[in-house]
Amino acid sequence: MDILFYHPTFNVDEWAALLQRHLPQTRLRAWQPGDNTAADYALVWHPPYEMLRGRVTLKAIFALGAGVDSLLSRLNEHPDLLPPGVPLYRMEDTGMAAQMQEYATSQVLHWFRRFDDYAALQREVCWEPLEEYRHADFTIGVLGAGVLGGQVAQSLSRFGFPVRSWSRSRKTRAGVESFAGADELSAFLHGTRVLVNLLPNTPETAGIINAQLLAALDDNAYVLNLARGVHLVEEDLLAALNSGKVKGAMLDVFHQEPLPSDSPLWRHPRVRITPHVAAVTRPEEAVVFIAQSITRIERGEMPPNQVDVARGY
């Protein structure tokens, strides 16, 4: 079984060794320009157009991440990027949910315990105990209720916060109030103190965190963007921070990555930045999912997480 591999930073030898452990009959090779030799499967991240074009003999393509927006966005430029009839799959959790839970929980608790305020007081050499926030007044709203968003919402509810989610369709999760569809977005935002974004990147969600949405949040709100930079209108967030409507923001993703050195986000006193590390693909866990999926395909079954190209996830 021949598998093509392309990732701009991952070590192909590591992935080959891991795949051999789970699928001994597998031969993994890194794609190089000019490689037109047939293959059964492809594992990709930001693949070159020439790698996938015309490969109609592939049984499946696996995107090496939970998001496939970067690949799908190139379809506008190259409509034949994905071979017709070849299914595309994205990673199913593969350790990302746990990472997202750690990131989101640590930051929400940081704000809830007012560590941001105490850091500001420390810079002023000021010893001043502050009034505690109450759980009941710290409603957390999670945009997106898929595998990652749903598990983040549930993990936060265990700390006693009121937690709600908003998604395209209604979800049922213990301890999480569900809102769905455009008609319920306003109700979801009303009373939300902490906004956590884990939406998929689709044409409908681009720019969704804008001035109008931020204005609908509780005063002194917090914004945590863990999904994609295109969801957030950065200028609107800066305006909301400067007006005091938004008290703080933690951003892991941006319109342009790496974030340009002249971006005012770097220097804003109430913005914290990480370089798109909230959840990364872990090869050991990703290979288990891929091996199980290939085994199912070889048996004539359909594995989970096939991407609906029209919907974008």
pLDDT, one tens digit per residue, over 277-290 is 999 999 999 999 99
Same-domain status, 298 and 268: no
Parent domain of 262: 96-273
* Whole-number Å distance between alpha carbons of 100 and 175: 18
Mean pLDDT throughout 1-22? 96
Provide the total of helices (H) and of strands (E) in the chain, helices listed first.
Answer: 10, 12
Q: What is the CATH number of the domain that holds 107?
A: 3.40.50.720
Same-domain status, 107 and 246: yes
Task: Give the containing element (helix H, strand E) for 125.
Answer: none
- Crossing angle for the helix pair 283-298 and 12-22, to the nearest 10 degrees: 50
* Domain count of the fold of the chain: 2
Same-domain status, 82 and 163: no
Taking a C-beta distance cutoff of 8 angstroms, is the pair 272, 278 a contact? no
Mean pLDDT throughout 249-274? 97
pLDDT range class, residue 301, cuts 50, 70, 90:
very high
> Could you tell me the pTM of the whole model?
0.90
Is the pLDDT at 256 greater than 80, yes or no?
yes
* Whole-number Å distance between alpha carbons of 183 and 137: 24
Mean pLDDT of the chain: 95
Same-domain status, 16 and 153: no
* Whole-number Å distance between alpha carbons of 88 and 272: 35
Same-domain status, 149 and 81: no
If you search the block for the tokens 């990673």, which residue do you land on?
A: 91
Same-domain status, 18 and 128: no
Same-domain status, 141 and 13: no
The string of DSSP codes covering 122-180 is HHTT-----PPPPGGG--EEEE--SHHHHHHHHHHHTTT--EEEEESS---BTTEEEEE
- Which one from 29, 276, 282, 296 is the annotated catalytic residue? 276
Is the pLDDT at 108 greater than 80, yes or no?
yes
- What is residue 72's predicted lDDT score, i.e. its pLDDT? 85
* Whole-number Å distance between alpha carbons of 109 and 37: 52
**Residue 110 identity (one-letter amino acid):** H
Same-domain status, 269 and 217: yes
Same-domain status, 48 and 193: no
Same-domain status, 44 and 169: no
If you search the block for the tokens 């370089």, which residue do you land on?
A: 275
Higher pLDDT among residues 203 and 101, named by residue: 101
Task: Give the containing element (helix H, strand E) for 233.
Answer: none
Mean pLDDT throughout 243-258? 97
Taking a C-beta distance cutoff of 8 angstroms, is the pair 100, 253 a contact? no
pLDDT range class, residue 76, cuts 50, 70, 90:
confident
276 is catalytic: yes
29 is catalytic: no
Taking a C-beta distance cutoff of 8 angstroms, is the pair 172, 192 a contact? no
Of all residues in the chain, the percent with pLDDT exceeding 70 is 100
Residues 6+ apart with CB under 8 A from 22: 287, 288, 291
Same-domain status, 230 and 294: no
Taking a C-beta distance cutoff of 8 angstroms, is the pair 67, 305 a contact? no
The number of C-alpha atoms within 13 Å of 292 and in the hemisphere containing its C-beta is 12
The number of C-alpha atoms within 13 Å of 285 and in the hemisphere containing its C-beta is 15
Same-domain status, 83 and 104: no
- What is residue 123's predicted lDDT score, i.e. its pLDDT? 96
Give per-residue pLDDT as tens, 112-151. Answer: 999 999 999 999 999 999 999 999 999 999 999 998 999 9
